[in-house]
Amino acid sequence: MKLVLLGAPGAGKGTQADFIKAALKVPVISTGNLLREAIARETELGQKAKQYMDGGNLVPDELIIGLVKEKLQSPDCASGAIFDGFPRTVAQAEALDAFAAPELALSIEVPDEAIVHRMAGRRTCPRCGSTYHVVGNPPRVEGICDKCGETLGIRKDDAPAVVLQRLEVYHAQTEPVKEHYARQNKLREVSGIGSVEEIRERIFQAMEEGL
């Protein structure tokens, strides 16, 4: 099962990907997390990607497509994967169709105003990439990651000015990906407004209908 999660930055893709992973028993491939890991390890890819990410722009397609292709080779992806933050351009979606076409694309819909508000309260684990919200989805212990115990931080690209740029990039370059999957009759849209549990229910319903 290969499933694509679409939605603006901060729509809740990472949070929901964890629930889907537990249900489908396939790994999550988050290109944002892979890139942040590459930056932390100071690899060549990380060095190339950093300037784009810090400015809220997309990393070039060829770097991302290579990264995902490589990740899909690993044995744990033998029965599929959940793609979080990929594809983000029509070129990436076409490339994915050629080497591992997904069965379903779920788009989590959240209006821009709500995104800007949400991002202001987002906290991220620098070690495992888990995300929280100070009000909407707090960790059990304030400031500490539930999953790995690391101290939570604020991503550099969650700064308000960069969030606006990321939203602009989303509308210009990623929204057309929805059309790509709609043409293949693989797109399901769910509202991303409400509690984490409410959104999870909607997603599971859409998956049942769509699979």
Active-site residue, selected from the candidate residues 88, 118, 188, 200: 88
Residue (of 158, 59, 84) closest to 115 by Cα position? 158
Tell me whether residue 19 or residue 140 sits nearer to ligand AMP (CB atom): 19
127 assigned to active site: no
| Stretch near ligand AMP under the rule CB under 6 A, chosen from 81-89, 132-140, 145-153, 183-191 | 81-89
Tell me which of 27, 52, 186, 189 binds ligand AMP, using CB under 6 A: 52
Q: Contact between 35 and ligand AMP (CB under 6 A)? A: yes
Q: Of 32, 125, 130, 181, which lies in the binding site for ligand AMP, with binding defined by CB under 6 A?
A: 32
SS (H, E, C) 45-88: HHHHHHHHHHCCCCCCHHHHHHHHHHHHCCHHHCCCEEEECCCC
Contact status: 85 vs ligand AMP (CB under 6 A)? yes
Residue 140 falls in the annotated catalytic set: no
Residue 77 CA to residue 54 CA, distance in Å, equals: 29
Q: Between 12 and 209, name the residue whose CB sits nearer to ligand AMP.
A: 12
Contact between 82 and ligand AMP (CB under 6 A)? Answer: no
**Burial of 47: CB neighbours in 10 Å, binned 0-12, 13-18, 19+:** exposed
Q: Candidates 54-62, 97-105, 137-145, 191-199 — which segment interacts with ligand AMP by CB under 6 A?
A: 54-62
CB-nearer residue toward ligand AMP: 131 or 200? 131
> Taking CB under 6 A as the rule, does residue 123 contact ligand AMP?
no
Among the listed residues 4, 17, 82, 86, the single contact to ligand AMP using CB under 6 A: 86
Kindly give the pairing relationship between strand 131-133 and strand 122-124: antiparallel
Catalytic residue selected from 2, 36, 118, 155: 155
Q: Which of 36, 122, 123, 200 is catalytic?
A: 122
Residues near ligand AMP (CB under 6 A) are 9, 31-32, 35, 52-53, 56-59, 64, 85-86, 88, 92, 157, 166
The residues carrying an active-site annotation are: 13, 88, 122, 155, 166
